[in-house]
Amino acid sequence: MVSGNFLIGRDLPLKGFDKYIQPLLEEKGYSVENKLSAMAGKNGTIITSIVGEGDLEKTIEETLFEVKKLIEKENEGKYRTEHIAFPHQIMYLDGEGHQTIGIYKDNKTASQLFPSIAQKYLLEELETQASEVSDTIKSLLGKKLSEL
């Protein structure tokens, strides 16, 4: 067995990952060991560790393509508010839907590294948010209370 850590989707809610991607991976014999939604910057992603036999990258790529088609079909005729996920959240216009962080020769390494990887992305998210708050405060400092 091999394991890998991946970033999956763009602004994809965890609910969409749980409904569409994880079950399809499990049907193919893969296991999602860890997952976390991270919204670093303006493009959120799902950080995952996945275990299974064979070519993980190819399987994820194929799965995302299948999920994109499924969502396109499922969303036909529904109001936007009824959609759990959108095709562009699964696979971008350039055909990419994931980023590989690392693939490992055993089934434990991805899960062992997951906390460190998740921490890195969460710290990036906090840094981005702190920077935005700082910029807002700086912009308000020069204004009079009556201008606010």
Domain spans of the chain, in order of start: 2-142
Q: What is the DSSP string of 87-104?
A: HHHHS-TTS--EEEEEEE
In this structure, of 3-12, 17-26, 45-54, 131-140, the range with the lowest mean pLDDT score is 131-140
Distance of CA 74 to the CA centre of its chain: 21
Contact 47, 7 (CB under 8 A): yes
Which tokens hold the place of 143? Answer: 């204004």
Cα(88)–Cα(102) distance, rounded to whole angstroms?
Answer: 24
User: pLDDT by residue (tens digit) across 95-117?
Assistant: 678 889 999 999 999 999 999 99
State the CATH architecture for 2-142. Answer: 2-Layer Sandwich (3.30)
Residue 104 confidence (pLDDT): 95
User: pLDDT by residue (tens digit) across 73-87?
Assistant: 887 876 666 667 877
In this structure, of 21-25, 30-34, 124-128, the range with the lowest mean pLDDT score is 124-128
